[in-house]
Structure 1
Amino acid sequence: MEADTQMDLGQINGVYGEVGGLPTPVAAHVSEEQLPELRIYTVSAEWSQRDPVRGSRLHFSQQWTVIADSNNHKSIKTVLPPGPCVHVCAELLTALSPIRGLRALIRETCGHQLLEIWDHYGLRKCLNLTALDKHGRVYDDAQFGCLSWSDCENRLLYVAEKNKFMETNDGESLCGKDRRVYCEDWGEGLSNKSVAVICVVNLQNGHINVLQGVPPDVSPGQALWACSSQSVIFVGWYHEPFRLGLKFCSNRRSALFKLDMDGNCECLSGDNVSVSCPRLSPDGSTLIYRQGRVFGPHSQCLSLQQLDLRSGKTSTLLDVVDRPQAGEFAGVYEALPSSCWSEDSQRIVFSSPRRNWKRSSKVTSLSDSLSALPRLYGSWKLLTIQNDLMVVCCSSPNIPPTLLVGFLPLAGEAVTWRTLQPPIRTFDFHWTVLDVTPPPEEDNTHYSGLDFGAILVKPSRYLHEAKIPLVVYIHGGPHSQFPVEWNCTTAGLAKLGFAVLMVNYRGSTGFGQDSILSLISHIGSQDVKDVQRAVLTALQTDNTLDPKRLAVIGGSHGGFLSCHLVGQYPEFYRACAARNPVINAATLLGTSDIVDWRYSSMGFQYSYDQIPTAEALAAMLEKSPIIHAAQIKAPVLLMLGGRDKRVSPHQGLELYKALKSRALPVRLLWFPDDGHSLSRVDTQADCFLNTVLWMQQHV
């Protein structure tokens, strides 16, 4: 028995190493060189890869040479084989200058942050930002972080934590105050971010200037140069009366600001809105940015705004899509690529969910779709477009991420895509997309007629003659989605003989704003019924699935739904594995960094001065899985992060105790150094291994 267990462990770890160790592209850059008879494009890509030996993620870069036709530079003649991959070590931010191709990077080594400038001859300049002590740590996260070259290439712009020795607005230095005074941060995943400042470094003399004039009630981020580098445009998030969690939340009150070098600051956007992702056109005349509502769903369909910097006029380029028509553009949900403009400053290119797919869009005055990628791929994501050359990441549930390039076509023309490098390997999985329509009794009367989707992935060759066990995989959010793309958890389960059903219940992104709003005040019921309906649909349409061997897994809101399902349908599921699940929304209220969502999800209007009421607490309890705990029969595996600020680990502990007291099979894994996403490499491997062992034991 012990030998069999060891063999199983080895097999599971081997499969996870195979699917989880595949690299994923995270960024790309294009530079162009004009020769007498050729146009040469250099495409650089940065990849991320799990390394189980180090227990961390490695980053490496790779380069390709793309040769375009001399007569028609929008036609690719050939793509030369790439050079060897180069390990990128301890780089936090990097940016190439627009003219001379200088490379700026901020690197962390031995507890110090260094700003390095590299040219074609080697290291040109190095500044020890930590030793200069003009500010705290440089922000390298996706929420605030930026590194931007000025037009003259003599200055760099970035955002950092305010130096604790700098004076505050009342004239007193932070270090002069009581060190025990509580210091707010921006919540889950941003706990080391509190007071941000915009910094400009003069590369000629090495002087760092912390810009003055940022309104005291906002935290700046996503900064970029504008007006021939005479001013800075940035997003400012309002942090008064107190900060709310910002990660994964596009509904925080914020505004677009312009700040000149003399400290004069001007607000460019509306007051009570949420803005993000400012992107300046190549000619410097037009700024686009995302805009949404404050509060309500923390991820929602956003509009795309266009600001003419010469006239100061703002117009809506793409409005919120309430209910997309079949095959039509479904709205803006995700961050825009850092480079998304066409060379002529007339078009914008980005990728966005469209039902269960992730597709491309190009925008002039109205949205229209680029030609589809080869059917081989389910979804794609634009990494960059520069000099009209697009670099996209493509994948499917059975094909790991790979890179394609193609020039942005003229109106009415198709894109000719070229593969930079084929996938390392493909997998023998079968996948299909299911469209699910709720029956009349499950329709939402306020948002009638909505449907949703699911993706079924299963091994093409069964390990046994019997029917295939099905794992129901539920995404968190709840306002996010499973697109038809590579997912290493799904691939690992399919490789081990499980079918996997990934459900995009009503409220998922990509189905329009009506779908998102339909879930408000209906969590714990509409979303639970949707998942169950998707499972029944899959079982009815595919007779290779075993209805007697069903398990359910998910994290955060996906864990919330997993625990609901085994409680509301106790005879249906054989096992459950939940990561950082919401178990009791009433007891979560005072511990979550996104307290506003705890009210909004129940249909209550939120305000900062909100005081809990018996009515609100009763509604939260009523919609929580804990009220069904006594009906649970399926064995439950709980995986909790000790540093989770979004869903306190005491949520999972509450269910653990409820099940344990009833002598029900329950197991709890505690990861003291991990947060809500359980994103550490060793944690993810541990969670996958234990989830599979739990499924094998009970399913």
Structure 2
Amino acid sequence: MDPSQVTGVYGEVSGLPVPVSAHVSQEQLPELRTYTVTAEWSQSDLVRGSRLRYSQQWTLIADSNHRKSIRTVLPPGPCVPVSGESLSGLSPIRGLRAVVRETSGHQLLEIWDHRGLRKCLNLTALNKHGRVYDDAQFGCLSWSECENKLLYVAEKNKDTSIESHGGDSACRKDRSVYREDWGETLTNKSVPVICVVNLQSGSVSELQGVPPDVSPGQALWAPGSQSVVFIGWYHEPFRLGLRFCSNRRSALFKLHLDGNCECLSGSNLSMSCPRLSPDGSTLIYLQGQVFGPHNQCLSLQQLDLTSRKTSTLLDVVNRPQTGEFAGVYEALPTCCWSTDAQRVVFSSARRNWKDLFMVDRQSNKVTSLSDSLTDLSKVYGSWKLLTVQNDLMVVCCSSPNTPPTLRVGFLPSAGEAVTWRTLQQPVMTFDFHWTVLDVTPPPEEDNTHYSGLDFGAVLVKPSRPLHDAEIPLVIFIHGGPHSQFPAEWNCTTAGLAQLGFAVLMVNYRGSTGFGQDNILSLIGQIGGQDVKDVQTAVLTALQRDVTLDPKRLAVIGGSHGGFLSCHLVGQYPEFYRACAARNPVINAATLLGTTDIVDWRYTSVGLQYSYDQIPTAEALAAMLEKSPITHAAQIKAPVLLMLGGRDRRVSPHQGLELYKALKSRASPVRLLWFPEDGHSLSRVDTQADCFLNTVLWLHQHF
């Protein structure tokens, strides 16, 4: 296979733009009502080796007397680059645009109106704090009601903390003191503080009163703009990794500008995503359990800000009924309320799909808003809500053969269906066939503690094979393990299918979208139940589709997906022809002291965790027993390892351990080392390199 052909295919599929956020504004005219939809897109550019961001606008015209009917969609405006912007936010009344921009090592705060740049502050030169947080975990940019103040989260100024302990002598003494951070992708986040900019005076101040054992984030103004609501993560006795972990002890707080801080929620739970209703009466947020699975089914709570009473709007779903809502598993978009504050809209996993849902606060009834087609005839397997404002929803739809598509529709009245309009079709679609498989474990593999569970997979293959022979099958296994492969656009899957491979994306028991029992069933069963589930899914696919070649099978995956890939080639050495693993867990016992989520190492093997845990011989033995390294001597399939030198979640020494074990036995193995990359191997050039090497590795050994 020609490397230039592989690179060309990957450039084509990875370079397709993806909408990442949207905003809606409306204007009432005498005879009609207009809506302006502004979407921000991300697009990978292999030439630059970076991701570009740009915005685009559409004008929608609706009848005044029938506001839920879009009469006309005008052609979109030009694409406007917004690269360099790390945060942005529109004010609710005058439409002022606040931007935090990176320029020559400085962070600038810019305020734009319809006449141009109105104000610019050099936040770095002001030296009131460290870098502004722009991540999804802590970051925020919130306008006050009067639109003369802005709220954001930044790193506490190191100089301030040193000066308070004695000036120059303290500086010499403390400059090498270790500062804990929040782990993978948050390595520069240690001590967040809430900051307020007064746009009239140009002053920046750090809000005082946050409890000293709490790290604040996701802040927003409370009604009246005299107080702030935020999520606080407890960081004592030490910090654990937050990325992909919805099980960290945290609480909802209200901080008054005079420094008085009060807790609005229980303190031994996990909280995230506070969202204020349009009328300012109610705050909703997601709530989960502490420790246990690091991702889980969450409940949706609502807090009446007048009575201070909290109630459950959506509870955890343990066992979803067939075809029904399966629970909440992901963050809420920033704008998720209906205009009348009676409904909340969100996206969530449902078995092998990602669907769009609406919950009514009066009845607690959940309604699916996706196209009313049966699962077998769905055009889009994934519906992701970007925003809902003025009751107009903006969603990103996709499927394994249809790249991200921007669509809009008004929230429906009771009993009505949504009339969806497409704003932006993808540049191209692909001639792939895809289907969803429901898989039932054989009786001997049923989990006696969580009996009767099933799982699923998504099979994608070229509609017309490149040759007459049977199609080679690549089994693609997601990480997590508590995550999901929905039937959505995936450029790795698309690239493989474009090059003639079939791809089976497996959602083994423990994946999200199948209920909390399904997630809990994997605790203590890693390296066994999940490995057998993948093998059962492969056998099911081969049985149901005779065009797949049972003699040309390979496994690929990252993190826990890499863990399972290495397990499969070790436990079924005659079955698979090749393996490609990204940052795999190889030896859970040796990983214990180097991972940022040490609690999961205990939980995954069925042991309780506490901060003062000291490893025991029994615990280490349990971790080793469930690790792929115990099967290394049986591995016959050639193994490609791809490791990030800055991985905080799974140390690259894990992959090196397997590399040495295979080298010592003269087993075919190749290792790619990316010194500047982390756990997700997410740099554009790294992803292209990994795809090229994976395809050539599979082709060589098929």
Tell me the TM-score normalized by structure 2.
0.98
1:387-402 superposed matches below 5 A: 387-402=390-405
Alignment of 1:131-210 (within 5 A): 131-167=125-161, 175=171, 177-210=173-206
- Comparing 374-383 with 627-636, greater Cα deviation is found at 374-383
Q: Report what 1:367 is aligned to.
A: 365
Aligned match of 1:423: 426
> Quick one: distance in 1 between partners of 2:525 and 2:620?
15
Deviation at 1:168, TM superposition (A): 7.2
User: Which SS does the other structure have where 2:449 is aligned?
Assistant: coil
Distance (whole Å) between structure 1 residues aligned to residue 199 and residue 238 of structure 2: 37
- Give the alignment of 1:25-174 within 5 angstroms: 25-167=19-161
Equivalent position of 1:582 in the other structure: 585
Amino acid at match of 2:612: D
Are the aligned partners of 2:357 and 2:369 in contact in 1 as well (CA < 8 Å)? no
TM-aligned CA deviation for residue 172 of structure 1: 5.4
Tell me how far 1:24 sits from its aligned partner.
Answer: 0.5
Corresponding residue SS for 1:530: helix
Question: What is residue 318 of structure 1 aligned with on the other side?
Answer: 314
Aligned length: 693
Alignment partner, residue 209 of structure 2: 213
Pick closer, same or farther for the CA change 1:371–1:163 going to 2, 3 Å.
closer
Matches within 5 A, 1:557-596: 557-596=560-599
Shift of 1:169: 12
Matched-pair contact (CA < 8 Å) for 2:345–2:356: yes
Are residue 328 (structure 1) and residue 324 (structure 2) matched? yes
| Counterpart residue type for residue 194 of structure 1 | S
The alignment partner of 1:697 has SS state of helix
**C-alpha offsets along residues 409-428 of structure 1, whole Å, 9 cap, x if unaligned?**
11111110000022211100
Query: Could you tell me whether the CA contact under 8 Å between 1:361 and 1:367 is conserved in 2?
Result: no
Percent identity between matched residues is 82
AA of the residue aligned to 2:560: H
8 Å CA contact 1:157–1:224 kept in 2: the answer is yes
Q: CA deviation at 1:93?
A: 0.3
2:677 counterpart residue number: 674
Amino acid at match of 2:440: T
The answer on whether the counterparts of 2:296 and 2:482 sit within 8 Å (CA) in structure 1 is yes
Cα deviation, 1:79-138, whole Å, max 9, x if unaligned, reads 111011111120000000000000000001000000000000000000000000000000
Distance in 1 separating the partners of 2:338 and 2:129: 36
| Correspondence 1:433-582 to 2 at 5 A | 433-582=436-585
Q: CA deviation at 1:72?
A: 1.1
| 2:630 corresponds to 1:605 | no
Amino acid at match of 1:415: V
CA contact (8 A) 2:38 2:58 kept: yes
Change (3 A) 1:196 1:500: same
User: CA distance change for structure 1 residues 277 and 449 in 2, over 3 Å: closer, same or farther?
Assistant: same
Q: Deviation digits for residues 238-259 of structure 1, max 9, x if unmatched?
A: 0000000000000000000000
Shift of 1:170: 7.5
1:6-53 Cα shifts (integer Å, max 9, x gaps): xx0110001001101101110000011111111111000000010111
Shift in Å at residue 329 of structure 1? 0.7
CA drift of 1:146 comes to 0.1
Conservation of the 8 A alpha-carbon contact between 1:234 and 1:258 = yes
CA distance in structure 2 between the partners assigned to 1:254 and 1:370 by the alignment: 30
Q: Partners of 2:357 and 2:369 in 1: how far apart?
A: 9
Give the Cα–Cα distance (whole angstroms) in 2 for the partners of residues 636 and 357 of structure 1.
31
Contact preservation (8 Å) 2:162, 2:171: no
SS of equivalent residue, structure 2 residue 152: strand
Does the CA contact (< 8 Å) of 2:162 and 2:174 recur in 1?
Answer: no
Q: Which runs of 5+ in 2 are unaligned?
A: none
CA RMSD of aligned residues (A): 1.1
- What SS does structure 1 have at the residue aligned with 2:117? strand
For the residues of structure 2 that align with 1:172 and 1:492, how far apart are their CA atoms? 59
- 2:174 partner SS: coil
- 2:650 pairs with one of 631, 647, 664: 647
Query: Do the aligned partners of 1:136 and 1:162 also contact (CA within 8 Å) in 2?
Result: yes
Secondary structure of residue in 2 paired with 1:165: helix
Most deviating of 607-616 and 29-38: 29-38
Supply the AA of the counterpart residue of 2:5. Q
**How far does the alpha carbon of each residue in 1:558-601 deviate from its partner, in whole angstroms, 9 at most, with x for none?**
00000000000000000000000000000000000000000000
Change (3 A) 1:36 1:168: farther
* Unaligned ranges ≥5, structure 1: none
Corresponding position of 2:637: 634
CA distance in 2, matches of 1:649, 1:561: 17
Contact 1:164 1:175 in 2 (8 A): no
CA 1:256 to 1:698, structure 2 compared with 1: closer, same or farther past 3 Å? same
Whether the aligned pair in 2 keeps the contact of 1:370 and 1:415 (CA below 8 Å) is no
* 2:674 is aligned with 1:664: no
8 Å CA contact 2:358, 2:369 repeated in 1: no
